[in-house]
Structure 1
C-alpha cells in the first residue's frame, strides 16, 4: 500500500533532510539524491525542498490511483519495521556467504560514496545511510525498474518476462552506479557482484512488498553494516 509506504518512509526522509541541513558542509550527500537534484535543477526545479516534496507526491499519487482506503493501522507500520530489520539481517548473511565464497573478509557494504566514510562521525554516517535507503530505492527501484519494465513490455509478450528484465537491468545499473562519477569507488569484483545480488534482492522486495519495506530494509542494512 503506497500510503503505508509513505507513512513508514516519512520519518527516514525527515531524518535525512534535517540531518543534512544541520550538518551543513560536513554532511555526506547520497549520490542518487544528488543526481535527482541535478536533473531537477536543469529543468528549473532546483528548490531544496522540491525533491522530498516530489517523493511524497509520487507516493500519494500512487495511493490515489490504487483506490485503497486512506488509513493505515499502527500494527502495519510496526510490522513493516520488524520485517525491514529481519530482511536487513538476511542480506547481511548473504554478504557473509559471498565473502566466504570469495575467501575475503566481509567488510564490504552498500556505501554509495567514494569518501572515507569511516573517518566521519556517527551522526554523519547515520544520515548518509538513511539517505541511501530512501533515495537509492526511489531512483533504482521506483523509477528505473518501472521504466525498464514499461519499455520491456514492448518487446516481451508476458509480464513475467518484462519484470525479469526490469529486475536484472535495474540491478546492474544499481551496481555500476557505485563506480562512476567523481565520488565513485574503484571497481572490485566482490563489491560489484554483491551490489548486483543486493540489487536483485531489493528489486524483488520492491515488487512483492512495496517501496516502504525495501527502503526500510536498505536503510537498516546500511546502518547495520556501517554502525554496528
Structure 2
C-alpha cells in the first residue's frame, strides 16, 4: 500500500525532472543516492527508484502482507498525510511566533529557491518528500535503530536514539559546512546559511517525521513531507 501510495509522487518527480531539463531542482538526497550508485559502477537513470520499489516489495513479501490494493485505505492515507502536513505547517508558525522569527525566516525552514519557477519548486518538493524520507527515515533511522538494539538498548530506547540522531543529521545537511577527516573533506556543497530558528525547526521536523515513520509507516511520512513543502510553496 505504501508503494502504491507514493507511486504518483515518485513518478511526477522523476518525469518532472526529465521534462524541466536545466531548470529542474533535483533533491540533494536523490543526487547523493545516484552518486553512490555511480561509484559502484551503476549509472542507469531509473535504477535508484527501481531499487526503492524493489526494497518495498521485498519488505511487503517478508511481512507476509496481503497483495490486495484497497482504494478506501489509499484515500484515508492521503487524508492522514494532509492532516500531518498541515500540523507541521502550524508548528512552523507557532515556533516562528515563539522565537519572534519573521515570516521570511519561517518560510526559509524549507530551502525555497526564489530563482526557480513555481513548477520547478513543486517538482523539487515532491523529490524532497520521497528521497529525504528514503535516506533519513527508511535507511538511516532504521539502520540506527538496528545498531542501537545490537548495542543492548531495548526497542523503545533504540527507536528514540535513532529518531534523535537522524533528526539532528537531517537538519545539519541543509547547511553549508566542511569537515576534514583523515585527508577527506566532507560536507554539503550547497545549502543555507546557518540560522538558529531554521535549525531548531528542522530538528523538530526531523523528530516529527521520525515519529511519524515509526508509528504510521513510510508512505504516510513521504506524503506528509511532500504536502508540507507544497503548502509552504503555496503560502509563501
Superposition pairs of residues 65-214 of structure 1, within 5 angstroms? 65-106=62-103, 107-111=106-110, 117-180=113-176, 181-214=188-221
Query: Contact 1:109 / 1:222 at 8 angstroms: preserved in 2?
Result: no
Cα shift readout 1:33-90 (whole Å, capped 9, x = no counterpart): 0011110110011211001101111111110111011012101111111111111110
Distance 1:108 1:148 in 2: 30
Higher helix fraction (1 or 2): 1
1:109 deviation in Å? Answer: 4.6
From 2, 5, 13, the counterpart of 2:10: 13
What RMSD, in angstroms, separates the aligned Cα atoms of the two structures?
1.2
Query: Contact 1:9 / 1:212 at 8 angstroms: preserved in 2?
Result: yes
Distance 1:157 1:54 in 2: 31
The match for 1:57 is: 54
* 11-20 or 148-157, which deviates more: 148-157
- Secondary structure of the residue aligned to 2:30 is helix
Distance 2:153 2:27 in 1: 37
Distance 1:16 1:124 in 2: 10
Distance 1:16 1:46 in 2: 19
- Secondary structure of the residue aligned to 1:100 is helix
* 122-131 or 155-164, which deviates more: 155-164
1:105 deviation in Å? Answer: 2.1
1:110 deviation in Å? Answer: 4.7
Distance 1:156 1:92 in 2: 37
* 177-186 or 5-14, which deviates more: 177-186
* 16-25 or 175-184, which deviates more: 175-184
Distance 1:155 1:83 in 2: 35
Query: Contact 1:5 / 1:213 at 8 angstroms: preserved in 2?
Result: yes
Cα shift readout 1:168-201 (whole Å, capped 9, x = no counterpart): 0000110001113121111111111100000000
